[in-house]
Structure 1
């Protein structure tokens, strides 16, 4: 299922979204799509709504149009629809091509792309430097040759990225807005179904190698003109092979491929007509050989790395789809013996009447507890009325020093005298700076508190075998060891709706 325009519009990381969507146990259902949007920070609610009520919908909503999830934007009397491609429909066409499913969404700050580093600005900066150098230090035809090489590199990079599932607006624009079947018979059929394989590299990969090497050689024109002309002559073989594959094997012409062929042809003409045969040394020939080996090795390396990553992602998606099955999680959860805590005064947060009760056995000096508390705080923030939380700090006076006693006293004072948000903020601050004096300052009191309830609670934890921290307890059942604590996000909605579990 393809919905590239929708993902781009919401500014989501396409690879991350695809991975989470494909690994959902209910893939490719509307529930899986909705849950994935929630996970990526796009809050949403799904409805089955008769078309007669669609006029009351907001300006933007998500629907299933032509059997694919699509963003629908009202634009006067027409609707702009973003899915695999962008298109405009009138009201009657939209209703005819859509199901009754609608999804209303609200973008949050977390909905931005999660990419760690964007290499495109760096790539554009390198291109700009090369262009500046070419036009200021070389002849017009030499500079034009380098411009064509840069264009070849850019298009080849787009094809290279598309091979690993990334969307390319450039390739999409060049190939046109043909229907899906036509796209499969042209660009996709030639590029994605390329049967050439030399050390795992496709024919399109060699285009990237060729143009990258040619850029470097082009910077040293006219000294390298003889070698550059030689490579442009060799490109005739690539042109002939590509045209043969398109015309006689696949019987479909790819616009991107034809554009690259045009670049090669123009460079061939420039080389023959305007480049002089400058003498070259053995050293120049050796450096050229080293250059091509380095470029070839780099492309081969990144191709193998990305292929392995793609393979692992597909494998992980299948494994996670199985692991994130709620019934499987529930069976693992209920395998543990139910824990009955004794009533004791503790830190209780959220809605005390909520059907889903989370207890976290923790220790302020436990390094791993920080992440557990972050998850707990996130759940409270997202489900303030649907979950209750109990923080169970282990405390034994015979093993605790004065600082720990002071810290717990400060927490207790904040809990009883200040709003819940300030109490949670004090715990968050503690795990960030680990400064007892700072927490005492936040409490506004250094007076010792009665910690007898914590002593009894610790004995209760120990009697139930809860000695290590952090530990999550859901409605009396210890969180399964086979799952990471972060996995609770995939099951919390179903846990709250499961009357048998409650």
Structure 2
């Protein structure tokens, strides 16, 4: 299922999104898509909505158009639809091609933070430096040769990235529609089905090696003119091979391949007409050989690294799809003996009448507890009415020093006298700073003014249940399974809330 335009619009990391989507136990359902968006920081709600009510929808929403999850944007009397590519549909065509599924979303800062690092600006800077040097320090035709080499590098890099699942708008615009009905213009048949393999490198990968080498050699023209001219003549073999495969084997022409061939022909013409009276040096030849070895090794290393990563991600996706199955998680959860705590509402949060209750056993001075508390805070923020929670700090006065006692007293005072959000913010600030004085400024507690007996009793209950190591998540009395990471709760929280039998 392809939804490149949608992912690009939401500024999500495509590889991360596809990995999480594929690893969802309900893949490729609408639930899997919705949960993945939530995981990537795009809050959303899904509905089955009759078309007659679609006029009431926001300006932007997600729908299933032509069996693909698509971003739909109202544009006057028409709709812009973004999925594999961008289309414009009128209201009647949109309703005809869509299901009743709609998903309303809200982007958050978290979505931006998960976006992949964009290395293209660095590439453009390098290209700019090469171009400036070429036009300032070389002849016009030598500079033209370097421009052609840079064009070859850019297109080859786009092909290289596309091989590992990254969408290229440049390649897409050159190749045109890649659907089955447009197979004659498709690059897939030539590029993706390339049977060439030398140490795992495809024919298109060698164009990246070739043009990168020419960019470096081109900077030293005319000293390297003899070497450059030799390579451009050798490229005739590659041109002939590519044309033969397209014309007689696959019987279709690849536009991007023809563009690369045009670049090669252009370099051949420039080198034939302009590189004359050139000399040959053994030193230059030796340095050229070292250059090609370095570039070949670098491309081979990156190719193998990305291939391994891709294989690993596919394997992990299958494993995680099994691991993230709710029924499996639930069976592991209820296998843990149920813990019965005595009634104690100290540090109780959320909706106390909610049927799903989560407790976290922790210690304010525990270094690992910070992330666990953050998960709890985020859960309460997202599900304030569906979730009840309790912070169960382990505190024993006979073992605690004066600072710890004062900190627990301050927490108790703030909990009883300030709004819940302020209490949670205080706990969060504590784990960020570990500064008792900052917490003390928010409290009016004095020595002995707070009743700490409920916390002491709660701590004894924790100890009686064997909960001495922190942090520990407890869901409706069952300890969170050891086979899962605490962050995995995000994959099951909706089903836990909706599970009437749990």
Instruction: Tell me if TM exceeds 0.5.
Output: yes
1:101-129 Cα offsets, whole Å, 9 max, x none, are: 11121222222262453211111101000
**What is the deviation of 1:470?**
0.4
Per the alignment, do residues 408 and 113 of structure 1 end up closer, same or farther by CA in structure 2, a change over 3 Å counting?
closer
**What is the deviation of 1:357?**
0.4
Q: Contact 1:11 / 1:113 at 8 angstroms: preserved in 2?
A: no
Query: Which shows bigger deviation, 114-123 or 4-13?
Result: 114-123
> 2:88 matched to which residue of 1?
88
User: Under a length normalisation based on structure 2, what TM-score does the superposition of the two structures give?
Assistant: 0.97
Q: Contact 1:20 / 1:36 at 8 angstroms: preserved in 2?
A: yes
**What is the deviation of 1:55?**
2.1
1:176-215 Cα offsets, whole Å, 9 max, x none, are: 1353442587201111111110001011110000000000
Distance in 2 between residues matched to 1:404 and 1:348, nearest whole Å: 20
Is 1:475–2:476 an aligned residue pair?
A: yes
Report 1:42-441 matches (<5 A). 42-112=42-112, 114-115=114-115, 117-177=117-177, 179-183=179-183, 186-441=186-441
Distance in 2 between residues matched to 1:157 and 1:264, nearest whole Å: 16
Distance in 1 between residues matched to 2:47 and 2:426, nearest whole Å: 39
For the residue of structure 2 that corresponds to 1:74, the secondary structure is strand
For the residue of structure 2 that corresponds to 1:112, the secondary structure is helix
For the residue of structure 2 that corresponds to 1:223, the secondary structure is coil
Query: Which shows bigger deviation, 103-112 or 187-196?
Result: 103-112
Per the alignment, do residues 433 and 457 of structure 1 end up closer, same or farther by CA in structure 2, a change over 3 Å counting?
same
> 1:498 matched to which residue of 2?
499
For the residue of structure 1 that corresponds to 2:327, the secondary structure is helix
Q: Contact 2:40 / 2:114 at 8 angstroms: preserved in 1?
A: no
Per the alignment, do residues 117 and 96 of structure 1 end up closer, same or farther by CA in structure 2, a change over 3 Å counting?
closer
**What is the deviation of 1:53?**
2.1
Distance in 1 between residues matched to 2:150 and 2:113, nearest whole Å: 27
5+ residue gaps, structure 1: none
Distance in 2 between residues matched to 1:418 and 1:180, nearest whole Å: 63
User: Under a length normalisation based on structure 1, what TM-score does the superposition of the two structures give?
Assistant: 0.97
For the residue of structure 2 that corresponds to 1:443, the secondary structure is coil
5+ residue gaps, structure 2: none
Structure 1 runs (4+) deviating above 4 angstroms are none
> 2:25 matched to which residue of 1?
25
1:279-328 Cα offsets, whole Å, 9 max, x none, are: 13211111101100000000000000000111111111111111111111
1:462-490 Cα offsets, whole Å, 9 max, x none, are: 11111111000001111111110000001
**What is the deviation of 1:427?**
1.0
Q: How many pairs does the alignment contain?
A: 501
> 1:458 matched to which residue of 2?
459
Q: Contact 2:40 / 2:111 at 8 angstroms: preserved in 1?
A: yes
Q: Contact 1:187 / 1:255 at 8 angstroms: preserved in 2?
A: yes
Q: Contact 2:386 / 2:497 at 8 angstroms: preserved in 1?
A: yes
Distance in 1 between residues matched to 2:418 and 2:56, nearest whole Å: 43
**What is the deviation of 1:460?**
0.6
> 1:12 matched to which residue of 2?
12
Query: Which shows bigger deviation, 113-122 or 360-369?
Result: 113-122
**What is the deviation of 1:71?**
1.1
Q: Contact 1:19 / 1:313 at 8 angstroms: preserved in 2?
A: yes
For the residue of structure 2 that corresponds to 1:357, the secondary structure is strand
1:17-55 Cα offsets, whole Å, 9 max, x none, are: 101110110000111111111111112121222222222
Q: Contact 2:409 / 2:445 at 8 angstroms: preserved in 1?
A: no
Q: Contact 1:13 / 1:113 at 8 angstroms: preserved in 2?
A: no
Instruction: Tell me how large the CA RMSD over aligned residues is.
Output: 1.3
Distance in 2 between residues matched to 1:113 and 1:225, nearest whole Å: 47
Distance in 2 between residues matched to 1:129 and 1:249, nearest whole Å: 41
